[in-house]
Amino acid sequence: MRTTLMFIVAAAAATSVGAAEPAHYQVRHAGDLVRLCDAQPAEADHATAIAFCHGVLAGAYGYYLASTPAADRFVCAPDPAPTRTQVAKGFVAWAKSRPQLMQRGAIDILFNYAAEAFPCGK
């Protein structure tokens, strides 16, 4: 699962980076995803970085839903579901308060956050 997600992220980076350096959009670890999701409006590539962040969030969650039977899920979106912007901001704040996790796998840490923020059956 992890390898497939990283392939999807890498493919998306290769096709959607526009004028920015491709390395800028490599998501090697959680810190890279936090940097993209925390892009500020004054940054030249703000819109692209945020769109890329949202794509990673949606892609990871979509893959999780498609590959995990409902009975085995540990992350469940509430009703009404939060927006991608809300999830991104929550993830950034959560991850920044845990700097020891920044070098770990981006998708793993994203799901650590999601499990705390959106647990099933709670």
Can you give the pLDDT at residue 3? 47
Domain around 96: 2-117
- In this prediction, the residues of the chain whose per-residue pLDDT falls under 70 are 1-22, 122
Q: What is the dihedral of CA 47, 48, 51, 52, to 10 degrees?
A: -150
Can you give the pLDDT at residue 14? 45
Q: Is the pTM of this model over 0.95?
A: no
Q: Is residue 53 part of a domain?
A: yes
Positive/negative CA dihedral, 100, 85, 113, 52: negative
Contact yes or no for 64/110 (Cβ under 8 A): no
Q: How many domains does the chain have?
A: 1
Q: Is residue 122 part of a domain?
A: no
